[in-house]
Amino acid sequence: MTVRTWMTPDPQTVGPQDSLAVAQEKMAHGRFRRLPVVDASGAMIGILTERDLRQHVGYLPTTHVNAAMNEKVLTIGPDEPIESAAALMLERKIGGLPVVAKDGKLLGIVTVTDLLQGLLHNVGGSDDTSGRIDIRLASPEQTVAGAVQALESAGAIILGLGTQRSVAAAERTFYVRLLAPDLAPLAELLRQQGYAVLAVHPPQAA
């Protein structure tokens, strides 16, 4: 599944010359924590967060958005898999990603809630032909995206991923649900790359 399927299209935005007071009103009304900033053509040029507003308390009506926004914005394309969006959010510890076309136009926003809906759609347990591998990241250098890339390079079709509660808070654990003829070689591949494979769940139909 792609990001386009689960994103919120045509999100609320602000312009660079809008005041921070206008932005604050839009955030409060929509219960947003961030607003994309777009120019007259609809191209995304920055993002404004609640934290940015707090740094200008007392001057919101007289301060323009472009004086407070962050121009370095992490975005994702509409045709990227939702697993890629999930991996980015986990790695960067952020709650949402603007979805931007190749020409820079803002198409939508994908949030953690959107991803949970998409991932649960895929890993809800109704598909008894898929298997699951439970993994723990064994070092700070390892990433969810790295494990997914290794599995896809070995021919697996990734259906979804998610985090799971670990016994020790310091342990970062997650699961990958996938389609593959045999999960054992994939689990061994992950072990060889340093991941701690906690469990392998073959397809129920196997």
Where is 112: in which H helix or E strand?
A: helix 112-123
The confidence score (pLDDT) of residue 166 equals: 46
DSSP string, 12-51: --B-TTSBHHHHHHHHHHHT-SEEEEE-TTSBEEEEEEHH
Does residue 89 carry a pLDDT above 90?
no
- Going by their DSSP bridges, the two strands 172-179 and 131-137 should be labelled as antiparallel
Which CATH number covers residue 86? 3.10.580.10
Span 99-144, pLDDT tens digits: 999 999 999 999 887 776 666 555 444 445 678 899 988 887 888 8
- Whether 18 is in a domain gets the answer yes
- The answer to whether residues 96 and 69 belong to one domain is yes
Cα–Cα distances in angstroms (integers) from residue 185 to residues 57, 83, 87, 155, 205, in the given order? 56, 22, 23, 11, 19
- The answer to whether residues 146 and 171 belong to one domain is yes
Identify the domain containing residue 48 by its residue range.
Answer: 3-116
Determine phi and psi for 163, rounding to 5 degrees.
-95, 160
Q: What percent of the chain has pLDDT over 90?
A: 48
Q: Which range is most confident: 1-10, 45-54, 135-144?
A: 45-54
- The answer to whether residues 192 and 100 belong to one domain is no
Average pLDDT over residues 13-25: 97
- The answer to whether residues 59 and 138 belong to one domain is no
Could you give the number of structural domains in the chain?
A: 2
Chain centroid to CA 110: how far? Answer: 7
Among 72, 92, 116, identify where a domain stops: 116
184 or 163, greater pLDDT: 184
Nearest to 34, CA basis, from 45, 50, 23: 50
Contact assessment for residue 85 and residue 100, using Cβ atoms and an 8 Å cutoff: no
Q: CA–CA separation, 104 vs 88, rounded Å?
A: 19
Determine phi and psi for 72, rounding to 5 degrees.
-90, 100
Could you tell me the two tokens for 5?
């399927």
- The answer to whether residues 57 and 99 belong to one domain is yes
Which CATH number covers residue 197? 3.30.70.260
